[in-house]
Amino acid sequence: MSGEVMIESGGELRRRLRQQQLISAFGREALRGPDLETLLNEAARVAAEGLGTTLSKVLQHIAGEGALLIVAGVGWRDGVVGVIKFGTDLASPAGFALRTGAPVISNHLGGEGRFRTPQIMVEHGVRRAVNVLIRGEAGAPPFGVLEVDSQDEEEEFSDSDVDFLQALANVMGLAIDRERDRRDRDLLTREAHHRVKNSLQIAQTLLRLQLREVEDPEARLQLEQAARRIMTIGAVHERLFSGPAIGQVSVGTYLRGLIEDLRNSLGVGDSERPLELELTEASEAEVWDGDRVTTLGLVVTELVTNAFKYGRDGVVVRLDIGGLDGAGTLAVEDGGEGPPKDYDKVKGRGLGMRILSTLLRGGGLVAQWPPGERFRFVATLAPPQIPTPGQ
């Protein structure tokens, strides 16, 4: 007799240790910051595994509808997750947990007098269920309810099972709060960049309006170039959300947009004076921070403008980034006869070239001016600088 008790106790201990391992692993995963959908699906999987069942679900409180929507789960037929809603009244097990904050254990749903059994659970042969509240910060409305269901009537959910499930739900609540905070910050950041972009557009418009009043060719040229530089910076703010995170920019997406903007502002792009962009596959996949992309864009703008100033047969911009470190080469080349013989003097004296030299020094680009008839510029892109701890 005592031997049987020892076996049962040993099995129970192993189950509790496994539950602790699952919570620990889930906590580490939550710290990595997965998207909300991934987080909720993983929580549903862990909940079912921890209680030895094949059915679990995460229900989100939709306050405006007075309902709990199944937003994640395991073991359910198609058409359940994201579709089925439960009531939030006290006759609903999940609703009771939501309204009272108390966990709900129902080990005999068929004979349960306190609650009704939702039809979807009847369809899946659910015999028992346990619900806990998914809380967040103190004072914040709860996210919803975490529920585990079982088709097995021989065993029962225990208070220890509730402890495991509530611990899991608490980790979920903290991760959801962090995701909510991140989304709020993202909205503020987007709004800030939107305002900056609008301000730059206004500045560009004012410069172009001023162009109408200026007759001196050199002054017009300077104003046009200033407007293009503002356009280049504005394009970064417009595309700061094309990468996987706020402030990260897809290099390919940005350069394609920039080249199109330059075609319009320079009045080029036809068959006689084409402006082409060539990107390697690795370059298409690159994602850079906003500062580095701004430098790249300004360099390209200065070079393309200069190339069209002297070139006759169009310009090709090539970006070739090799490997995963962000290093590579940028080449801008025209198909004409190249700059005048005294180009070196012009290069040293012009504002555009002085700006270019400053950008190259600050942007990790090493310039080369290969000899030949064509206007050809090649820059070596250094890998991005990664701050060391403490910087």
Question: Rounded distance, CA 304 to CA 185, Å?
Answer: 37
Cα–Cα distance measured from residue 156 to residue 93, given in angstroms and rounded to the nearest whole number: 16
Whether residue 15 is predicted with pLDDT greater than 50 in this model: the reply is yes
Task: Compute how many other C-beta atoms are within 10 angstroms of the C-beta atom of residue 266.
Answer: 18
Give every CB contact of residue 39 below 8 A, 6+ residues apart in sequence: 29, 30, 172, 175, 176, 179
Q: What is the pLDDT of residue 311?
A: 60
Give the CB-side neighbour count of residue 350, counting CA atoms within 13 A.
18
Cβ pair 174, 136 in contact under 8 A:
yes
Which comes out higher in pLDDT, residue 42 or 262?
Answer: 42
**What does the pLDDT average to over 198-205?**
79
**Which phi and psi (to 5°) does residue 361 adopt?**
-65, -40
147, 56 contact by CB (below 8 A) = yes
For strand 328-334 and strand 248-250, is the pairing parallel, antiparallel, or unpaired? Answer: unpaired
Mean pLDDT of 371-389: 55
Q: Residue 188: what pLDDT?
A: 65
Can you tell me the mean pLDDT for 193-209?
Answer: 77
Q: Which of 173, 150, 174, 172 is nearest to 161 (CA)?
A: 150
Q: In the predicted model, is pLDDT for residue 243 greater than 90?
A: no
- Considering the chain, what is the average pLDDT of its residues? 80
25-61 per-position pLDDT tens digit: 999 888 887 888 999 999 999 999 999 999 999 999 9
What pLDDT does residue 337 have? 56
What are the C-alpha distances in Å from 52 to residues 10, 18, 154, 160? 16, 11, 13, 13
Is the pLDDT at 185 greater than 50? The verdict is yes
Who wins on pLDDT, 181 or 62? 62
Mean pLDDT of 108-120: 87
Contacts 24+ apart (CB under 8 A), 323-326: 323/282, 325/383, 326/286, 326/288, 326/381, 326/383, 326/384
Instruction: Output the pTM of the full model.
Output: 0.54
Place 212 in a pLDDT band, splitting at 50, 70 and 90: confident
- Range from 35-44, 158-167, 268-277, 342-351 carrying the lowest mean pLDDT: 342-351
**300 phi-psi bin (left φ>0, alpha ψ -120 to 50, beta other):** alpha
Mean pLDDT of 128-138: 86
| 238 against 336, higher pLDDT | 238
Higher pLDDT, 359 or 342: 359
Percent of the chain with pLDDT over 70: 76
Confidence check: pLDDT of 317 > 60: yes
Q: Which of 7-11, 23-27, 101-105 has the lowest mean pLDDT?
A: 7-11
Instruction: For residues 127-142, give the mean pLDDT.
Output: 85
pLDDT for 58: 97
Residues 109 and 115: their CA atoms lie apart, in Å, by 8
Residue 246 pLDDT > 80: no
CA distance 62 to 161: 27
- pLDDT tens across 291-302, in order? 788 888 888 888
**DSSP-assigned beta bridge partners for residue 276:** 316
Lowest mean per-residue pLDDT among 75-84, 136-145, 271-280: 136-145
Contact 238/197 with Cβ under 8 angstroms? yes
